[in-house]
Chains A and B, each alone.
Chain A
Amino acid sequence: MTESPSPPVTAPALEMRAITKRYPGVVANDAIDIDVRPGEIHALLGENGAGKSTLMNILYGLATPDSGEILLDGAEVRIGGPSDAIARGISMVHQHFMLVPVMSVADNILLGAETMANPIFLDRKEAHRRIVELGTRFGFQIDPDVPVGSLSVGWQQRVEILKALYRQARILVLDEPTAVLTPQETKEIFVVLRRLADEGHSIIFISHKLHEVLEIADRITVIRRGKVVGTRAPAETNEDDLAALMVGRNVQLVVDRGESHPAGATLVVSDLKVADDRGQESVNGVSFEVRAGEILGVAGVAGNGQEELVEALTGLRKPTGGTVSMGGRDVTGAGPRALQQQGMSFVPGDRHRFGLVLGFSLADNLVLTQYDEPPYVKGLLRDEKAIAAWAKRAIAEYDIRTPSANVNASTLSGGNQQKAIVAREFSRELTVLILDQPTRGLDVGSIEFIHRQVVAKRDEGAAILLVSAELDEVLELADRVAVMYRGEIVAVVDGPTAEREDVGLLMAAGRRAIPPVASDAVAEPGPTATGLS
């Protein structure tokens, strides 16, 4: 669904010329040129730290470029700050929504752009009218009085877009808008974006996901290490080409993996029930088994109980019912230490909260779960030499890019932080490996590396449970896929033969057919989009 590769020649709505921004020790943007035409969806593609965020921060007035100029409709402008950017018709939809959950859709939209009836009171009637009108125009009717917190993530994102439109944005920047969406929601939002573009809005679409970029963008600009390395029309490129541009070398997007040769069940979970922080059961009687030498993927929209499931399996949360056994031993309710001693390794989903101590050195983080075991302890004291030797080896083997093992973990990029966790958890003796969002937020190069390691561990005979919000990741790696929906496993399908659409529907609705009436009546006021032509 791409437009013709030669769009009509019009003056660009936005042009950024030779933008250069230096930070101490690094050139974040090195003479970047980019232009966005009216009615164009322009994708910005690049690894973490390539300079996309810096460029967008400059556009949004959050950073000042050292040199270069910004032109809107051909006239040079100086953007003093976010409010200035908004006044000039530039709006940003952040990856993490800036919404107040307890307030209504209308109140969220009005926040900061109040429509006043008089100097004291808001003109809610007029605001309502405009919100409904905007929604209708772009194909998503929404009730302005519904509290934002009761909307699905996909609809919250639409509220963010409405917010931008209400402020009369002509240029919309979307920062990884699909990271939190299901495949269906992604398709729906693409319909909205295309409609916006057709009405003459310009859209800058930032993403890591190559197939999405190819699907939605009119042009794709790839940035690597602060420089534009190419601009392509989707018709003249493909995923491998884009990945190679991004990373600077050929990348294997889908790791080679042979067939799995599973042995006996190592991790057996039966009728597990887990309550969340508010005491509500968010895992309602889940049963499955993971065999040695296989990867069981758990797919599901975030918030369907995966987090609690993982916490219960790894000893961070006490289950309220059911049993878990590992290698034939009952480990229900065992703590992290006991499970680790039984041979469980765990790559946590929230690496800053659980996986790392950011204020500690890389070396200390590399022994976070083995700090009291030989060879890292000699007698009563830590063996700093053994720790340093292991750190040196881990940095080399797992390709952790760092100036030294003594720098704070906080100074490493997300990908390198994750590699450090993987190095630590994969290097111990293990029979069960639990991976929670192992590549969240990482660039394709790091993802490729970690995926290879996961498959290698499988082939060594580990029983691997892979929980990921990235359906692609689950489908690429898992030998079997369990779909979680509202705290239950609604289906287990064979990984290599699973249909993306099929699993996507299971994730979204808990069953295979499109429901005639969406279960979230509030969240789905309009008919469900059936995809793009």
Chain B
Amino acid sequence: MTSLRRIWALAAIPVVSILLALLVGSLLISASSLATSPSLNPLLPLIAYESLLQGATGLSFIDVTGGAITFNPSIKPDQAARALTSTVAAASPLVLTGLAVGVGFKAGLFNIGGTGQVLVGGFAAALVGGTVAGQPAPVAVTMAILAGALGGAAYGFIPGFLKAFTGAHEVVSTIMLNSLAAFVIVGLVNDIFKITGPSFARSADVGNAAMPILFGRNGNLGILISLILVVLVYVLIYRTPLGFEIRTVGANPSAARYAGMSPRRLVVLTMSLCGMFAGLAGAFEILSLGYYPAVFGTSIGFSGITVALLGRAHPVGILLAAILLGAMQAGAPSMQITAKVPIEIIDVIQGLILLFLAAESVIRHALRSRTERVTPGEIGTVSRSYGDSTT
């Protein structure tokens, strides 16, 4: 099998899922035009997707004047730079939460705890950042980021430890830990760590620990770190003995034990690693914001699941999937302004992507192609998560 066919075998399901989601999304967009105008506008999806693309990349392909559509590819350089910066800025935390789920899949673990790990990582970064706010920026930033990584890792360690030594299923424990983190941190920010001054409860300012901006308006250091981590994770998983152990435990825990590996150790280690990635994502978000707000609602933890599934748990796939979702997020406001399509349609499309990914076997059948079933399938890990236990 040539490498191109191999890539297609892996990418076919995600690509088809995205296309189907966009197709169904366009039907919904058409229908939504009934709410804002007296008649159905069949061209609205085209306009909406066009403005979405423009908002995310600065690229434009068509002109819409009156009812006529003309093909006119164009690009505005300054708008493109702004748009692309927003896209990568939105993508970088998704890369990290995607890795937090995807690396887990490799070990046969379904880490739903991204949300909690993001919060704990962010909160740890905010606390340490607030403490070292007066230090020189390189020191302060490094310490705050490390705190975020450690906080997330510790919060991933807990379900890993519980799974390895008591058999508690990571799906159940991480869901509970998500709620625990959210409520405990809200309490802490509203009470112990609340600073006086601002009109709403929040933690102390991180000062010099704020994320350094490398380019554009919001092109911060986190983007660079995320990219480096994609490469490191690729090397770890596919080129090191430890990665081989992780993949073996994921694919066949009995064979891993037979080969002298320690599934327990690997489960704890992998969950901690996953938590670290999510914790970093939280740290980057909070250090960009500058403080930990009383209400820190973020969906990046859960979007990580979509990213990991869409990227088929492969670091490169995760990078591409995160960029796609980041682009949607970055382009959505432009779509709302130009096409008057509610921004929430983006969440609907993301949900549809997930739905079609989950219907993998249906799509496979429709394609009638010998697309490769990756063993263990990420979907397999998801569904297996409700069945047996690994240890």
Give B240-263 interface residues, CB cut-off 8 Å to A: 240-241, 244-245, 247-248, 251-252, 254-255, 257-262
Interface presence of A86 (CB below 8 A): no
Across the interface, B260 reaches (CB within 8 A) one of A335, A356, A410, namely A335
Across the interface, A353 reaches (CB within 8 A) one of B240, B247, B254, B259, namely B254
A-B contact pairs, 24 of them (CB 8 A): A314-B258, A316-B258, A336-B257, A336-B259, A337-B261, A337-B262, A353-B252, A354-B258, A355-B255, A355-B258, A357-B252, A358-B375, A359-B251, A359-B252, A359-B374, A360-B251, A368-B255, A368-B259, A371-B244, A371-B245, A372-B244, A382-B240, A382-B244, A410-B375
Q: Please name all residues of chain A whose beta carbon is closer than 8 Å to the beta carbon of B333 when the two chains form the complex.
A: none
Q: Please name all residues of chain B whose beta carbon is closer than 8 Å to the beta carbon of A368 when the two chains form the complex.
A: 248, 255, 259
Bound-state CA distance A336–B257 (Å) is 7
Give A301-358 interface residues, CB cut-off 8 Å to B: 314, 316, 335-337, 340, 346, 348, 353-358
Bound-state CA distance A358–B373 (Å) is 12
Across the interface, B240 reaches (CB within 8 A) one of A380, A408, A410, namely A380
Task: Map CB proximity to B onto A363-391 as digits: 1 under 8 Å, 0 otherwise.
Answer: 01000110110000100111010000000
Q: Please name all residues of chain A whose beta carbon is closer than 8 Å to the beta carbon of B261 when the two chains form the complex.
A: 337
Bound-state CA distance A360–B245 (Å) is 12
Interface presence of B76 (CB below 8 A): no
Q: How far is the CB of A482 from chain B (nearest CB, A)?
A: 24
Q: Please name all residues of chain A whose beta carbon is closer than 8 Å to the beta carbon of B240 when the two chains form the complex.
A: 380-382
Say whether B235 contacts A381, CB under 8 Å: yes
Task: Map CB proximity to B onto A111-138 as digits: 1 under 8 Å, 0 otherwise.
Answer: 0000000000000000000000000000
Say whether A346 contacts B258, CB under 8 Å: yes
Interface presence of B239 (CB below 8 A): yes
Q: Which interface class (under 10, 10 to 19, 20 to 34, 35 or more) fits A? A: 20 to 34
Task: Map CB proximity to B onto A381-417 as digits: 1 under 8 Å, 0 otherwise.
Answer: 1101000000000000000000000001010000000
Q: 8 tightest CB-CB pairs across the interface, nearest first?
A: A359-B375, A337-B260, A372-B241, A354-B258, A336-B260, A357-B252, A357-B251, A369-B259
Say whether A357 contacts B239, CB under 8 Å: no
Task: Map CB proximity to A onto B373-391 as digits: 1 under 8 Å, 0 otherwise.
Answer: 0111000000000000000
Chain A interface residues toward B at CB < 8 A: 314, 316, 335-337, 340, 346, 348, 353-360, 364, 368-369, 371-372, 377, 380-382, 384, 408, 410
Q: Please name all residues of chain B whose beta carbon is closer than 8 Å to the beta carbon of A355 when the two chains form the complex.
A: 255, 258
Say whether A357 contacts B257, CB under 8 Å: no
Across the interface, A382 reaches (CB within 8 A) one of B241, B251, B252, B262, namely B241
Given contacts A380-B240, A381-B239, A410-B375, contact A357 B248 (CB under 8 A): yes
Chain B interface residues toward A at CB < 8 A: 235, 239-241, 244-245, 247-248, 251-252, 254-255, 257-262, 374-376
Say whether B255 contacts A356, CB under 8 Å: yes
Residue of A nearest to B370 (CB): A24
Given contacts A381-B240, A384-B239, 13 further A-B contacts (CB under 8 A): A316-B257, A336-B257, A354-B257, A355-B255, A356-B255, A357-B251, A360-B248, A368-B255, A371-B241, A371-B245, A372-B244, A372-B245, A377-B241
Which secondary structure dominates where chain B touches chain A? helix
Across the interface, B259 reaches (CB within 8 A) one of A371, A381, A410, namely A371
Q: Please name all residues of chain A whose beta carbon is closer than 8 Å to the beta carbon of B255 when the two chains form the complex.
A: 353-357, 368
Across the interface, B252 reaches (CB within 8 A) one of A314, A335, A358, A377, namely A358
Bound-state CA distance A522–B247 (Å) is 48
Say whether A336 contacts B258, CB under 8 Å: yes
Q: Please name all residues of chain A whose beta carbon is closer than 8 Å to the beta carbon of B376 when the two chains form the complex.
A: 359
Bound-state CA distance A394–B266 (Å) is 29
Residue of A nearest to B374 (CB): A359
Bound-state CA distance A353–B257 (Å) is 10
Residue of B nearest to A339 (CB): B260
Bound-state CA distance A410–B254 (Å) is 16
Say whether B241 contacts A354, CB under 8 Å: no
Q: Please name all residues of chain B whose beta carbon is closer than 8 Å to the beta carbon of A348 when the two chains form the complex.
A: 258
Bound-state CA distance A314–B261 (Å) is 13
Bound-state CA distance A337–B254 (Å) is 14
Bound-state CA distance A356–B254 (Å) is 9
- Point out which of B248, B258, B374 has the most chain A C-beta atoms below 10 A from its C-beta: B258
Bound-state CA distance A380–B248 (Å) is 18
Q: Please name all residues of chain B whose beta carbon is closer than 8 Å to the beta carbon of A314 when the two chains form the complex.
A: 258
Q: How far is the CB of A378 from chain B (nearest CB, A)?
A: 11
Residue of B nearest to A365 (CB): B255
Say whether B260 contacts A364, CB under 8 Å: no
Q: How far is the CB of B218 from chain A (nearest CB, A)?
A: 35
Say whether B239 contacts A382, CB under 8 Å: yes
Bound-state CA distance A371–B243 (Å) is 11
Q: Please name all residues of chain A whose beta carbon is closer than 8 Å to the beta carbon of B375 when the two chains form the complex.
A: 358-359, 408, 410
Residue of B nearest to A377 (CB): B241
Bound-state CA distance A208–B122 (Å) is 64
Say whether A364 contacts B244, CB under 8 Å: yes
Residue of A nearest to B248 (CB): A357
Residue of A nearest to B252 (CB): A357
Residue of A nearest to B372 (CB): A408
Bound-state CA distance A419–B248 (Å) is 20
Q: How far is the CB of B231 from chain A (nearest CB, A)?
A: 13
Bound-state CA distance A356–B252 (Å) is 8
Q: Please name all residues of chain B whose beta carbon is closer than 8 Å to the beta carbon of A335 when the two chains form the complex.
A: 260, 262
Q: Please name all residues of chain A whose beta carbon is closer than 8 Å to the beta carbon of B252 when the two chains form the complex.
A: 353, 356-359
Q: Please name all residues of chain A whose beta carbon is closer than 8 Å to the beta carbon of B262 when the two chains form the complex.
A: 335, 337
Residue of B nearest to A337 (CB): B260
Residue of B nearest to A408 (CB): B375
Q: How far is the CB of B247 from chain A (nearest CB, A)?
A: 8
Q: How far is the CB of B265 from chain A (nearest CB, A)?
A: 11
Residue of A nearest to B256 (CB): A357
Bound-state CA distance A368–B251 (Å) is 12
- Point out which of B240, B245, B251, B260 has the most chain A C-beta atoms below 10 A from its C-beta: B260
Q: How far is the CB of A343 from chain B (nearest CB, A)?
A: 13
Q: Please name all residues of chain B whose beta carbon is closer than 8 Å to the beta carbon of A380 when the two chains form the complex.
A: 240
- Point out which of B247, B248, B255, B375 has the most chain A C-beta atoms below 10 A from its C-beta: B255
- Point out which of A314, A348, A357 has the most chain B C-beta atoms below 10 A from its C-beta: A357
Residue of B nearest to A368 (CB): B259
Q: How far is the CB of B349 from chain A (nearest CB, A)?
A: 31
Bound-state CA distance A353–B252 (Å) is 7
Q: How far is the CB of A350 from chain B (nearest CB, A)?
A: 8
Q: How far is the CB of B90 from chain A (nearest CB, A)?
A: 33
Q: Please name all residues of chain A whose beta carbon is closer than 8 Å to the beta carbon of B244 when the two chains form the complex.
A: 364, 371-372, 382
Bound-state CA distance A291–B102 (Å) is 49
Say whether B254 contacts A340, CB under 8 Å: no
Q: How far is the CB of B248 from chain A (nearest CB, A)?
A: 6
Bound-state CA distance A368–B247 (Å) is 11
Bound-state CA distance A358–B247 (Å) is 12
Bound-state CA distance A371–B251 (Å) is 16
Residue of B nearest to A380 (CB): B240
Bound-state CA distance A355–B258 (Å) is 7
Q: How far is the CB of B280 from chain A (nearest CB, A)?
A: 22
Bound-state CA distance A338–B327 (Å) is 51
Bound-state CA distance A439–B13 (Å) is 39
Given contacts A382-B241, A410-B375, contact A354 B260 (CB under 8 A): no
Bound-state CA distance A285–B374 (Å) is 45
Q: Please name all residues of chain A whose beta carbon is closer than 8 Å to the beta carbon of B245 when the two chains form the complex.
A: 371-372
Q: Please name all residues of chain B whose beta carbon is closer than 8 Å to the beta carbon of A371 when the two chains form the complex.
A: 241, 244-245, 259
Q: How far is the CB of A409 from chain B (nearest CB, A)?
A: 10
Q: Please name all residues of chain A whose beta carbon is closer than 8 Å to the beta carbon of B239 when the two chains form the complex.
A: 381-382, 384
Bound-state CA distance A371–B249 (Å) is 14
Q: Please name all residues of chain A whose beta carbon is closer than 8 Å to the beta carbon of B247 when the two chains form the complex.
A: 360
Residue of A nearest to B373 (CB): A359
Bound-state CA distance A397–B240 (Å) is 27
Given contacts A336-B260, A337-B260, contact A354 B254 (CB under 8 A): yes
